[in-house]
Amino acid sequence: MATEIITKEDLNEFRELLLNDLKNLFQGKPISENSKWLKSYQVKNLLKISPGTLQTLRVNGTLNYTKIGGILYYKYEDIQRLLYGNRKSK
């Protein structure tokens, strides 16, 4: 398993995104699916998959993730790439 190094810039970017999401939440605005980072439950709901399937996607390297303090985060762009990469044409 590859080790990822989180830089101060990564943490600052995450902090800004989190603060924006919290501001939107307190103002009654829904957090859009286009947020840059999604949590596991959001990915499962978006893809309509089980926790086991999500784990399989992580383990086999199909879906990249970042783990901060025990919480897994996924880039929305990676999920879009996964969906569009597996499209079948008729």
- Read out DSSP for 29-53? PPPPTT-SEEEHHHHHHHHT--HHH
Residue 51 confidence (pLDDT): 94
Q: Answer yes or no: is pLDDT of 31 > 60.
A: no
Q: Identify whether 2 is part of a domain.
A: no
32 vs 20, residue with greater confidence = 20
Q: Identify whether 65 is part of a domain.
A: yes
36: CATH: 1.10.10
Q: How far apart are CA 34 and CA 45, in angstroms?
A: 14
CA-angle at 10, arms to 53 and 15, nearest 5°: 90
For 42-76, write each residue's pLDDT tens digit.
899 888 999 999 999 999 999 999 999 889 999 98
Instruction: Tell me the residue range of the domain where 66 lies.
Output: 8-85
Q: Answer yes or no: is pLDDT of 29 > 80.
A: no
Number of compact structural domains in the chain: 1
φ and ψ of 70, to 5 deg: 85, 0
Confidence of residue 40 (pLDDT cuts 50, 70, 90): very high
Residue 72 confidence (pLDDT): 93
Q: Answer yes or no: is pLDDT of 34 > 60.
A: no
